Amino acid sequence: MVLINSNKELLEHPLREYITNLYLNSNERIEPKYLIPESVTNLVFGRKFNQEIRENELPESLIELSLHHYNRPLVKGLFSDSIRVLKLVFFNQPFQPFQLPPFITFLELRDFDCQLPNLPNTITTLKLDRFNKQLSPNQIPMSCTHLELKDYNLPLRDNDIPSSVKTLVFGNFNQTLVKGSIPSSVEVLSLGLKFNQDLIKDESIPSSVKVLELSTDYNKPLIVGVIPSSVHTLICGNFNQPLEENQISPSIKTLILGHRFKKILKEKDIPASVTDLHLGGSRFDKEIKAGDIPSSVINLNFGDLFNQRISEGVLPSSIKSFSMGKSYDHPLEGSIPNHCESLVLPDHFTHTIKKNDIPNSVTSLTFGSFFIKPITSSLMPTSLTSIYFGLRFNKPISPGIFNQGIETIMLGENFNKPIENGTFPSSTKAISFGASFNQSISEGLFNEGLEILEFGSRFVQEISANVLPSTLKKLVFKNDEMNQIIQELDLPTTLEITFEIDEYDFPEISDDDFEVHEEEYNDDDYEDMSNFSEGDDESDEDDEEGDEESGEEGDVEGDVEGNVEGDVEGDIEGDVEGDVEGDVEGEEDVNN
């Protein structure tokens, strides 16, 4: 995406006629009328813009349009028929009949709290943040399959939500759910932040639901039969009740116990159907004994606070993906299951890694943010194909450290050491350098076979001829100044070269700017572990009755957001590898 701060800058941009993704960050009128080129398909008006948009001022090429601070009555002909995605952030004006694009499929209205207009029967995704007017049958079109009602808190009647909806997300909703309130088409149900009503067996949750997120405020005992057997993914918010055998349905495959969960686990508390288990985001720190984690578990994630010694044989050998949380700080010897394939070490791990601490089954290894110890080849399992270094790592790497077979190497944000030829094995297909790296690149450093190469935001070194291998498919510079010099290279026409705008400088549309919802939707005030003392476990009742730390609601909502969107199973292992491939919002492809 190209960031433009003035009309003049856009008119004089050297690639003006090739821009497809445009972010306008000024408050100038759209003058002249042809200001925005016909090549633009995705247009964002930023925080500053609130000028009248007149008929035919937006190009017919637009597919996606986002208006941040725009809050003026809409004029006839403003939206072209080509628009499929429309996002209005601070807009809160009544719609006139047929003002919306007729073929729109995605509509987001964040600050809108007027009566809903006649919505086109093409909308499949509808997101309403502030809206809190009584819904009525047929108001939401039957084409809608994804519905979000963040502020809605009125009783739901039959057919208020159409039977086409498959994903339903609430925010501040706290009304009794009777039979028919939630249509039987819903497969993904998030009860949001405030819901704390009793759930009624065979009534509240329809048997169509497969993914259920209990609300942040929900902290009632789980009654057998309340959660239908159709549910395979259960996300428990701030749930902190003792678990008993058979309380959790044997249909559950993914179980995410909430941020406040800190009860002792016993054998059979977790049903043998569970394959993905997340234990208590920021509170759970109880001893785990052999049998507490069933042998069905394949993916295991400990929360931020967990720091109990894991003895050999405690965790089942079925575990293939293991994330140790943030606080675990014990020797690794014997703690990692022998068949583990993906291992994420803790952020605050300070112990030396010894030979055979990491089993030879591990193919993907991620170091914690604060791991700064030197790495030797003898410590790395020969099975490794992917290795990801943490934020603070800045130790030298030399030839022989990485075994032949490594395909993906991601060096941390602080890494900035010279690299010798021969350091990267010929098997390497993807290399990503962090923000701090700014060392010269010599011919022969990158072997033939390399396909993806990323440089961080501070890299400004000249790249001379023959440095880049002919096999390279994607080259990314994360420096918005675009001042890397590529000398007279005979680059293949299939090579994709990308310059990414620094995400910290880019004025994104975010909920942080949505002040009216600061308390309800604050996703950024994550809990600080230092707020919890060692004696915290002794005060369960006080915690449940009143200990409402700032940001906890947003913390839970943020952690499960990806799951609610329906990608629960794929989201658990993390997207580190995907980051190497550079699928980052806000990039300009100079090949366009």
What are the DSSP calls for 10-79, one per residue?
Answer: HHT-TTGGG--EEEE-S-----STT-S-TT--EEEE-TT--PPPPTT-S-TT-SEEEESS--SPPPTT-S
pLDDT score of 153: 95
Sole residue written with tokens 């039979």: 179
The three-state secondary structure class of 494 is coil
Better pLDDT: 574 or 279:
279
CA quadruple 370, 373, 379, 384: dihedral positive or negative?
positive
Cα separation, 366 vs 386, in Å, equals 8
**For residue 539, is pLDDT > 50?**
no
The three-state secondary structure class of 463 is strand
Lowest-confidence range among 32-36, 315-319, 410-414? 32-36
pLDDT score of 27: 95
Condensed to tens digits (0 to 9), the pLDDT of residues 176-201 reads 999 989 999 999 999 999 998 988 88
Lowest-confidence range among 90-94, 419-423, 559-563? 559-563
Q: Which two tokens stand for residue 519?
A: 């308390």
Cα separation, 430 vs 378, in Å, equals 23
The residue among 104, 100, 35, 92 whose CA lies nearest residue 63 is 104
pLDDT score of 481: 56
**For residue 347, is pLDDT > 60?**
yes
The three-state secondary structure class of 214 is coil
Lowest-confidence range among 99-108, 361-370, 571-580? 571-580
Cα separation, 171 vs 193, in Å, equals 5
Q: What DSSP assignment string belongs to 233-289? A: EEE-TT------TTSS-TT-SEEE--TT--PPP-TTSS-TT--EEEE-TTT------
Q: What are phi and psi of 343, to 5 degrees?
A: -125, 125
Cα separation, 524 vs 284, in Å, equals 21
pLDDT score of 533: 35
pLDDT score of 107: 96
pLDDT score of 559: 43
Name the residue type at position 386.
S
Residue 587's Cα: distance from chain center in Å? Answer: 18
Cα separation, 482 vs 460, in Å, equals 9
The mean of the pLDDT values for the chain is 83
Tell me if 332 sits within 8 A of 358, measured CB to CB: yes
Buried b (16+ CB within 10 A) or exposed e, 560-587: beebbebebbebbbbebbeebbbeeebb
Cα separation, 297 vs 337, in Å, equals 12
Tell me if 61 sits within 8 A of 83, measured CB to CB: no
SS (H, E, C) 39-51: CCCEEEECCCCCC
Name the residue type at position 549.
E
Cα separation, 549 vs 455, in Å, equals 39
**For residue 71, is pLDDT > 90?**
yes
pLDDT score of 522: 37
Q: What are phi and psi of 366, to 5 degrees?
A: -120, 125
Lowest-confidence range among 113-127, 202-216, 303-317, 560-574? 560-574
Tell me if 80 sits within 8 A of 57, measured CB to CB: no
Tell me if 370 sits within 8 A of 393, measured CB to CB: no
pLDDT score of 491: 66
pLDDT score of 239: 85
Quickly state the pLDDT bin for 442 (edges 50, 70, 90): very high
Q: What are phi and psi of 569, to 5 degrees?
A: -65, -35
Condensed to tens digits (0 to 9), the pLDDT of residues 257-278 reads 877 788 888 999 999 999 999 9
Quickly state the pLDDT bin for 501 (edges 50, 70, 90): low
**For residue 540, is pLDDT > 80?**
no
The whole-number average pLDDT for the span 156-182 is: 94
Better pLDDT: 473 or 525:
473
The three-state secondary structure class of 127 is strand
Beta-ladder partners of 409: 387, 431
Give the β-pairing of 211-213 and 430-432.
unpaired
**For residue 370, is pLDDT > 70?**
yes
pLDDT score of 524: 37
The three-state secondary structure class of 499 is strand
Tell me if 6 sits within 8 A of 28, measured CB to CB: yes
pLDDT score of 579: 38
The residue among 223, 137, 221, 231 whose CA lies nearest residue 186 is 231
Q: Which two tokens stand for residue 514?
A: 């949505």
Name the residue type at position 213.
E
Cα separation, 375 vs 106, in Å, equals 48
pLDDT score of 171: 94
Condensed to tens digits (0 to 9), the pLDDT of residues 109-147 reads 999 999 898 899 999 999 999 999 999 999 999 999 999
Buried b (16+ CB within 10 A) or exposed e, 299-309: bbbbbbbbbbe
Tell me if 408 sits within 8 A of 429, measured CB to CB: yes
Quickly state the pLDDT bin for 544 (edges 50, 70, 90): very low
Most confidently modeled of 51-55, 225-229, 394-398? 394-398
**For residue 494, is pLDDT > 80?**
no
The whole-number average pLDDT for the span 28-39 is: 91
Alpha helices in 80-135 (DSSP H): none
Condensed to tens digits (0 to 9), the pLDDT of residues 449-485 reads 999 999 998 998 888 768 899 899 999 888 755 555 5
Better pLDDT: 577 or 410:
410
pLDDT score of 486: 64
pLDDT score of 487: 56
pLDDT score of 480: 57
Note the pTM of the prediction, 2 decimals: 0.76
Query: How many other CB atoms sit within 10 Å of the CB of residue 500?
Result: 21
Q: What are phi and psi of 33, to 5 degrees?
A: -60, -30
Quickly state the pLDDT bin for 235 (edges 50, 70, 90): very high
The whole-number average pLDDT for the span 198-223 is: 90
Q: Which two tokens stand for residue 60?
A: 């017919």
Q: What are phi and psi of 570, to 5 degrees?
A: -80, -15
The three-state secondary structure class of 86 is strand
